Amino acid sequence: MSKLPEPRDTIVSRIDRHHEELAKLNKPRPYFGISSIGHECDRWLWLQFRWAVTQHFNGRMLRLFRRGQNEEAVVVSDLREIGMDVRETGDHQRTVYAGGFVEGNMDGVIYSGVIEAPKTIHVLEIKTHSSNSFNKLEKEGVRISKPMHYAQMQCYMRATGYQRALYVAVCKDDDRMYTERVRLDPDHADKLILRGKRLSLENRLPPPCSTDSSCLTCMGCQAFDFCYNTKKTMEVNCRTCAHATPRKDGTFYCEKWQDNIPVPYQYEGCQSHVLHPDLVPWPIDQDASDRWNAVYLIDGRPVKNGEKGYPSKTLLDGGPFDDVVGLVCKYFNGMVISWN
């Protein structure tokens, strides 16, 4: 039997590449998502909200997510077939605002027909599970086995005023189904929403949930490289800029241009972008920095970043910094600036 590896260009690899290309067109969401508000790591939630670490998934994972989404329509159809009045699903999902940047989209609302309480309105949450995850769910219930899902439903209930949610889980391996009615816990929901508001307004990088690289949460986290290796964002946008300030009304304000920054603009930023000091590994020279430019010490060389310095992208790419200027810096302790 041949020991040659699979050819690189296969049907599956083409499909996966197709999904990976499509995913590149997706912009990170501008709000602080309720779907992840129960995540155990403050730092991860902040990095995600500040568009500092972009999530990259391979084609197989992207197809898996699609499968989960497709399952929603199937479950809704089944619930309707047995007499539930399910609305606000699919393209008509309701966006729930919990204040400031905190918001999310519910899978649906069941207005009537849940067997145990036919007249009670329920928030609908649908999730697919692997076999292991499904077994744990059956044993422990959603609050213990899937705290993020539980948190999501709590926030939706609190923000909509509904008192109950119906959690519907499907096992991807064998189509087993599990349902659980969840009761609103107002204190828990309030704490979660406050957490989302606090983190979205936070201007500094929060501490990590662990400093042990064998921590399971960290090992599965897209910020692993940031936390344990580079300490460096690779993203240049308004939310990684030191001049941007999130405000309570759910907008970002630019201190440099003294104006609100519209969301589409935030994705690109401007030439005056200065890398947030918590998102780079280099020490900042406070004395040499000024209000609109930061001077970072990169390999011992002061490098100016901002409107009168090198663009952030150049710093992140590791230069090139002008050699002549570098020599000046080395021998005269000068600052490196761009010459145009």
Q: Strand, coil or helix: what is 3?
A: coil
| Among the listed residues 64, 117, 201, 209, the single contact to ligand SF4 using CB under 6 A | 209
Distance CA 250, CA 101 (A): 5
| Among the listed residues 200, 272, 289, 305, the single contact to ligand SF4 using CB under 6 A | 272
Q: Does 276 bind ligand SF4 (CB under 6 A)?
A: no
Q: Does 210 bind ligand SF4 (CB under 6 A)?
A: yes
Q: Could you tell me the CA-to-CA distances from 203 to 198, 206, 239, 245 in Å, in that order? A: 10, 9, 10, 7
Applying the rule CB under 6 A, the residues between 13 and 42 that interact with ligand SF4 are 41
Q: Does 261 bind ligand SF4 (CB under 6 A)?
A: yes
Q: Does 227 bind ligand SF4 (CB under 6 A)?
A: yes
Q: Does 267 bind ligand SF4 (CB under 6 A)?
A: no
| Among the listed residues 57, 178, 224, 267, the single contact to ligand SF4 using CB under 6 A | 224
Instruction: Tell me the window of 22-30, 102-110, 124-132, 215-223 that interacts with ligand SF4 (CB under 6 A).
Output: 215-223
Q: Does 178 bind ligand SF4 (CB under 6 A)?
A: no
| Among the listed residues 27, 257, 260, 290, the single contact to ligand SF4 using CB under 6 A | 257
Q: Within a 13 Å sphere around the CA of 165, how many CA atoms are in the beta-carbon half?
A: 30
Extract the tokens encoding 146. 């899937």
Distance CA 204, CA 154 (A): 27
| Among the listed residues 148, 270, 284, 288, the single contact to ligand SF4 using CB under 6 A | 270
Q: Does 205 bind ligand SF4 (CB under 6 A)?
A: no
| Among the listed residues 269, 302, 309, 326, the single contact to ligand SF4 using CB under 6 A | 269
Map tokens 């049907």 to a residue.
Answer: 11
Instruction: Tell me the window of 158-166, 221-229, 275-283, 321-329 that interacts with ligand SF4 (CB under 6 A).
Output: 221-229
DSSP string, 19-77: HHHHHHTPPPPSSEEGGGTT-S-HHHHHHHHTT-S-----HHHHHHHHHHHHHHHHHHH
Q: Does 244 bind ligand SF4 (CB under 6 A)?
A: yes
| Among the listed residues 251, 256, 284, 297, the single contact to ligand SF4 using CB under 6 A | 256
Beta carbons within 8 Å of 85's beta carbon, 6+ residues apart: 110, 111, 112, 113
Map tokens 């090198």 to a residue.
Answer: 310
Backbone angles phi, psi at 163, to 5 degrees: -100, -10
**Nearest C-alpha neighbor of 273 from the set 300, 220, 237:** 237
Q: Does 51 bind ligand SF4 (CB under 6 A)?
A: no
Interface positions with ligand SF4 (CB under 6 A): 41, 43-44, 47, 208-210, 217-218, 221, 223-224, 227, 238, 241, 243-244, 254, 256-257, 261, 269-270, 272-273
